[in-house]
Amino acid sequence: MNAVTCSHLTKTYREKKAVNDLSVSIEENKITGIIGRNGAGKTTFLQIVAGFQKPTSGEVMVFGENPFNSLNASANTIFINDTMNLPNSLTVYEILESAASFYPNWDKELAERLFEYFSFQRSQRHDRLSKGMRSTFNMILGLSSRCQLTIFDEPTTGMDAAVRSDFYRALLKDYLAHPRTLLLSSHHLNEIEELIEDVFLIKDGTGHLHLSVSDLKEYGVGIQGPDEQVEEWIEGIDVFHKRDIPVNKSYAVIKREDLRSGYEKAGLTVSPVSATDMSMYLTEKRTGGIDDVFNRS
C-alpha cells in the first residue's frame, strides 16, 4: 500500500513554480530520502504532503485521503523542521507533556528518556534554545509522536556531528521497533544513505528519479580517458556529468546501461559512481557544474 500518492502536483507562488507537475508514489512503512539541492522544492512538496499547504493544481493523497484541512491526517502526521513555531508560554517539558493530547501514539517514556539524554532542563524555553538544541528538541517530538507519517525536513540543522550521529541511530532503532512511513529530506545523501531504503530526487520542483538506494548505487558509471576518446564514446548518449581532469583527459558519468563493450581498447577506464555522487550529478543544473564557470571556449 502507498502512504503518499501525488499526481501532477503543482504549487505556484506568483509566477514561480516551487513544485512543478510532480508525480510520485511512496510506499508505507519505509524510510524514503527526499534529496535535492537548496531551492529544489523539497520543503514545499513536504508541506503539501503534511497538509500545511494546498497545491495550485494536481492531487495528493495521504493514506487514501486529501491531507489539507483533514483532522485525521493531522492526527497521524507530524512535520518537523527548523522553523517550527512552538508556544513560548510553555517550557520545553510542558510542550512534551501537552503533545500526548495531540498524538494518539505518543510515547511518553521515550520522550523523557531522550529529553534527559540530550541534557535538556525542564525550565528551558524553545525560543531561547540554541539552533542545534532546537533541532534536537524537535527531533524528540518527531520520534516520540510515533505518527504513521513522520516527516523530517532537514532535521539536523545546527546539530554537531555527535548529536547528528545519535539522532540517526535513535531514528533507526525506533523505526525498527515501530515501523512507520518516514520521509527524511536532505541535500546530503551521504549523511542518510545507510538509513533510507528509497530515494526520491527532486530537481527544479519536479520528481526527477525515484528508486531504491541499491539501484541508485548501480545507476551510473564513470568513464575516464583522453579527451577525444571520451567525446567519441559519449556521443549520442545522456551524460549526467562531465569535467576536465589533468592532463588533457576527461571524466564523464553515464547510465550503466549505456556502457558499451570495447572501452578498454579505446584507452578508457570505467569506475563505479557512489550513490551520493550520483544524486549530486543527477540534480546538477548544468552538465559540467562549477567547471562551466571557468570554461571560456
Name the pLDDT band for 1 (thresholds 50, 70, 90): confident
- Please state the rounded mean pLDDT for residues 254-265: 91
- Please state the rounded mean pLDDT for residues 44-65: 96
- For the segment 28-41, what is each residue's pLDDT rounded down to a tens digit? 999 999 999 988 99
Q: Which residues pair with 255 in a beta bridge?
A: 220
Task: Identify the pLDDT of residue 276.
Answer: 94
DSSP 8-state code for residue 90: S
Q: Is the pLDDT assigned to residue 287 strictly greater than 60?
A: no
Burial of 132 (0-12, 13-18, 19+ CB in 10 A): middle
Task: Identify the pLDDT of residue 2.
Answer: 92
Contacts of 160 by beta carbon, 8 Å cutoff, 6+ apart: 132
DSSP 8-state code for residue 187: S
Q: Is the pLDDT assigned to residue 289 strictly greater than 70?
A: no
Contacts of 293 by beta carbon, 8 Å cutoff, 6+ apart: none
Contacts of 101 by beta carbon, 8 Å cutoff, 6+ apart: none
Task: Identify the pLDDT of residue 247.
Answer: 87
CB-CB contact of 200 with 192 (8 Å): no
CA distance from start to end of the chain:
52
Name the pLDDT band for 63 (thresholds 50, 70, 90): very high
- Please state the rounded mean pLDDT for residues 111-133: 96
Share of the chain above pLDDT 70, in %: 97
Task: Identify the pLDDT of residue 288.
Answer: 55
Task: Identify the pLDDT of residue 27.
Answer: 95
Q: Is the pLDDT assigned to residue 271 strictly greater than 80?
A: yes
Q: Which residues pair with 225 in a beta bridge?
A: 250
C-alpha cell at 24: 510520485
Distance CA 31, CA 240 (A): 26
Q: Is the pLDDT assigned to residue 290 strictly greater than 70?
A: no
- Please state the rounded mean pLDDT for residues 266-293: 84
Would you tell me how many other CB atoms lie within 10 Å of the CB of residue 277? 17
Share of the chain above pLDDT 90, in %: 81
Distance CA 248, CA 131 (A): 46
Task: Identify the pLDDT of residue 144.
Answer: 97
- For the segment 131-182, what is each residue's pLDDT rounded down to a tens digit? 999 999 999 999 999 999 999 999 998 999 999 999 999 999 999 999 999 9
Q: How far is CA 132 from the centre of its chain?
A: 19
Q: What is the dihedral of CA 182, 188, 190, 193, to 10 degrees?
A: 20
Task: Identify the pLDDT of residue 137.
Answer: 97
DSSP H or E run through 101: none
Whether the model clears a pTM of 0.85, i.e. scores above it, the answer is: yes
Ordered structural domains, the chain, with CATH: 2-216 (3.40.50.300), 218-294 (3.30.70)
- Please state the rounded mean pLDDT for residues 218-237: 94
Q: Is the pLDDT assigned to residue 130 strictly greater than 70?
A: yes
**What does the mean pLDDT of the chain come to?**
93
Distance CA 10, CA 17 (A): 7
Range scoring the smallest mean pLDDT among 105-109, 214-218, 290-294: 290-294
